[in-house]
Amino acid sequence: MSAGPLMPPMASAALGHSWPSPRGPGKFAVALVQMAMGTDPRENLEQGVDRVREAARGGAQVVCLPELFRTRYFCQTEETAFFDLAEPLPGPTTNALSAAARDAGVVVIAPVFERRAPGVCHNSAAVIDADGTIAGIYRKMHIPDDPAFYEKFYFTPGDLGFRAFDTRAGRIGTLICWDQWYPEGARLTALAGASVLFYPTAIGWHPREKEEHGERQRDAWRTVQRGHAIANGVYVAAVNRVGHEIPEGGGDGIEFWGSSFLCGPQGEILTEASAEREEILFAEVDLARIEEVRRNWPFLRDRRIDAYGGITSRVLDDEPWGKGR
């Protein structure tokens, strides 16, 4: 099996830089916005809009913002008052970003704390096309409930499935944060035709664990997403926040580890951000590269779709599966 040649690393850029060269047919430039969030949702939205415009000036055709970028990560505690932060779709966030997308002619992945009905909220992402229309919505499917990540209190699991969306730049998919750990979601989104899997994210260290476990945790996070790229022959983009956010009531908080990145269809890191700084990363998606890799590493061709029935079981502990253990 030939691996094919690895692509050279793509250019990355911090704030104020731009994509360095023209793009040919079947290629498009993406920008990953790594942000630190303040306490004022209005100011965070303004910052997000400014970053989209800056990324567009730098040559980006698709711009992705971090998970729940309008607010600090409120899921560190369980407070009913935080439901007031939710908004409808469409709503203030998508209205502002739709205008920015239309003015700049870029596709925007806009994470939103979606209020669907009283007591029913989702952790969502709207895919806004370059004309300002909403191409589609993804609702986070996997909802964590870990110390300081109490998302089950706030978010109803998604019910729209794993999807890909046609945009002016190309067919793309988005999942959200905790979805990163599940190969099934990545596979289904790739099978729907997505060339890039975007993962808006809010992930970081518990300060007391960082010294002992921190590097292993972050390396596992990188590795599982690079695995999604390899197994599916697609590009994968993780877009995280930075900063140490401490709840108003006190506590250790979370040190968000940044490290946003884009990897190619062989898992090669094309661009990666720091762990501490706000940055905009620029890189290129080349559809011909997906074709090349999949011809040489035909994992999708060789799937045994007749043999995976057990994947829909929680565990394989009942007959007839139990006999094979």
Single-letter amino acid code for the residue at 288: A
Nearest of 192, 206, 155 to residue 177 by alpha carbon: 155
Active site (annotated) includes residue 177:
yes
Six-digit token string for 215: 């590097």
Report yes or no: 297 and 6 within 8 Å, Cβ to Cβ.
no
Structure tokens, 324: 């094979």
Q: Which of 64, 140, 151, 278 is catalytic?
A: 140
Confirm whether 87 is a catalytic residue. no
67 flagged as catalytic: yes
**Could you say which of 64, 75, 121, 177 is catalytic?**
177
**Which of the following is catalytic: 54, 67, 114, 278?**
67
Secondary structure, 3-state, the chain:
CCCCCCCCCCCCCCCCCCCCCCCCCCEEEEEEEEEECCCCHHHHHHHHHHHHHHHHHCCCCEEECCCCCCCCCHHHCCCHHHHHHCECCCCHHHHHHHHHHHHHCCEEEEEEEEEEECCEEEEEEEEECCCCCEEEEEECCCCCEECCEEHHHCCCCCCCCCCEEECCCCEEEECCHHHHHCHHHHHHHHHCCCCEEEEECCCEECHHHHHHHHHHHHHHHHHHHHHHHHHHCCEEEEECEEEEECCCCCCCCEEEECCCEEECCCCCEEEECCCCCCEEEEEEEEHHHHHHHHHHCCCCCCCCCCCCHHHHCCCCCCCCHHHHC
Q: Which residues are catalytic?
A: 67, 140, 177
